[in-house]
Amino acid sequence: MELFGMLAFVVALLLSVMVHEFGHFITARRYGMWVSEFFVGFGKRIWSVQRGETEFGVKAIPAGGYCKIEGMSPNDAMPEGEEDRAFYKASSGKKLIVLGAGSFLHFVLGYLLLFVLFAGVGTNQVLPIIGEVVPNSAAQSAGIQVGDEVVSINGVEVTTWYKDVEAIRNSQGKELTLGLLRDGQNITITATPRLTDIDGTERYVLGIVNITGLKRSGVIESASNSFKVTKSFISESVKSLAKLPEKIPALWGATVRGEERDANGLVGVVGVARVSGEAVGSDKLTPMERLATFLLIVASLNIFVGIFNLLPILPLDGGHMAVAIADELRAFLARLRGRPRPAPIDVTVLTPITMVVFVVLACLTLLLLVADVINPVTLNL
């Protein structure tokens, strides 16, 4: 099962990359740009088919994919008669939409996966089902039994236990009327909470311990929760990227000196795949809990990748977006001075900077790869 989980993650990652590239493809075509290739994988061509002006296909190394938009710089040769369809000739607004579409679809995919999690699979919550009755408690005196499901408190329907339980805690010791579901039958019991010291805090309790399990949410609640979690993931991704430089020394220590790996530190693709495999293969989780954990991992990864691609550094999409914004700023300043619009920035001029960034990212990727292999992060599931 663990191997299956790792393979499932690889497939999910590959599909996520292609969704990213599809964002570039569909918006570039929408604005009349020339898209010559759309391939899954890299390296040697295994299979392809021509559809209109675009060649779709599969290459030998399944490490992602790409969408080739012609005319990314003024020096790129365009087919005769198609010069105006070059990417660099498009307006800055269209460039930004095409470049940002990949990350946007990562966010959309992450949101949809979270929606499936909330509405279709469910999230781990404390359920209104009694798993234990504390001896000599108010619950035992009232006749509450293990397996009873609390369906109402003082006539108010129980929908979300972590909220509804406040009715017990705020009872001030007054008698409560509990609607219970026992062996398929609805019964009513009265019970009076007792003031009890819980870890140094006094609160009114009945003396019941509820079970936990997966619970699905309604469509509207799922949509709202998915938005909140997506927003939270975006915020945490930004914070993680901001703290990335300070986490590299710890990663180096874990890789080279064998120091303990920080579970909240940097993790590469291999590490995430291993964690996914561990989650899917865990005997401590039910099949649905495994699926829920897997969906959460893939959703969070998509949102992180979406944010990462927006970093204003070449060769990332965010770097090309920064160039497009710089083009527009130069044009604005030229208008203020009564001068004609300057020629678009040739990104090939920035190749040395691009290569430096590429080498840095490649070194970090290699370091993460080694760390994930020799000193992996585990969930202990």
Q: Are residues 359 and 226 in the same domain?
A: yes
Does position 133 have pLDDT exceeding 80, yes or no? Answer: yes
Q: Measured in whole angstroms, how far is the alpha carbon of residue 314 from the centre of its chain?
A: 23
| Residue percentage of the chain with pLDDT more than 90 | 57
Question: pLDDT higher for 129 or 253?
Answer: 129
pLDDT score, position 160: 86
Does position 186 have pLDDT exceeding 70, yes or no? Answer: yes
Residue 354 lies inside a defined structural domain of this protein: yes
Residue 349 lies inside a defined structural domain of this protein: yes
For residue 123, which of 226, 208, 209 has the smallest C-alpha distance? 226
Q: Are residues 91 and 138 in the same domain?
A: no
CATH classification of the domain holding 183: 2.30.42.10
Encode pLDDT of 334-346 as tens digits: 999 989 988 888 8
Task: Find the angle CA(327)-CA(333)-CA(339) to the nearest 5 degrees.
Answer: 100
Lowest mean pLDDT among 126-135, 181-190, 195-204: 195-204
Q: Are residues 381 and 272 in the same domain?
A: yes
pLDDT score, position 237: 94
Q: Three-class SS of residue 24? A: helix
**Stretch 362-372: mean pLDDT, rounded?**
86
193 phi/psi in degrees, rounded to 5: -60, 150
Does position 262 have pLDDT exceeding 80, yes or no? Answer: no
pLDDT score, position 381: 56
Q: Are residues 262 and 222 in the same domain?
A: yes
Cβ neighbours of residue 265 closer than 8 Å, sequence gap 6 or more: 247, 250, 251, 254, 377
Mean pLDDT (the chain, rounded): 90
Say if CB 234 and CB 337 are below 8 A apart: no
Q: Are residues 112 and 208 in the same domain?
A: no
Task: Find the angle CA(292)-CA(298)-CA(301) to the nearest 5 degrees.
Answer: 140
Q: Are residues 19 and 76 in the same domain?
A: yes
Q: Are residues 238 and 320 in the same domain?
A: yes
Catalytic residues: 21
Dihedral, 13, 7, 250, 356 alpha carbons, nearest 10: -40
Domain edge (last residue) among 191, 215, 239: 215
pLDDT score, position 261: 79
N-term to C-term CA, the chain: 13
Most confident range, picked from 106-115, 191-200, 346-355: 106-115
Residue 39 lies inside a defined structural domain of this protein: no
Among the residues of 155-286, which ranges form H helices? 161-164, 166-169, 219-242, 244-256, 269-280
Question: pLDDT higher for 380 or 192?
Answer: 192
Q: Are residues 278 and 224 in the same domain?
A: yes
Q: Are residues 156 and 285 in the same domain?
A: no
Q: Are residues 102 and 195 in the same domain?
A: no
Does position 241 have pLDDT exceeding 80, yes or no? Answer: yes
Residue 197: both structure tokens together: 């010291």
Domain edge (last residue) among 215, 250, 281: 215
Residue 305 lies inside a defined structural domain of this protein: yes
Encode pLDDT of 278-332 as tens digits: 878 887 888 898 899 999 999 999 999 999 999 999 889 999 999 999 989 998 9
Specify the amino acid at residue 313. I
Say if CB 314 and CB 350 are below 8 A apart: yes
Q: Are residues 109 and 131 in the same domain?
A: no
The count of structural domains within the chain is: 2
Domain edge (last residue) among 180, 215, 250: 215
Residue 46 lies inside a defined structural domain of this protein: no
Say if CB 16 and CB 302 are below 8 A apart: yes
Residue numbers of the domain that contains 353: 1-34+70-122+218-381
Residue 166: both structure tokens together: 């406040």
**Stretch 88-92: mean pLDDT, rounded?**
90
pLDDT score, position 168: 92
Question: What DSSP element (H or E) covers 138?
Answer: helix 138-142
Question: pLDDT higher for 21 or 281?
Answer: 21
d(CA 59, CA 61): 6
Binned at pLDDT 50, 70 and 90, residue 379 comes out as low
Omega before residue 135 within 30° of 0, cis: no
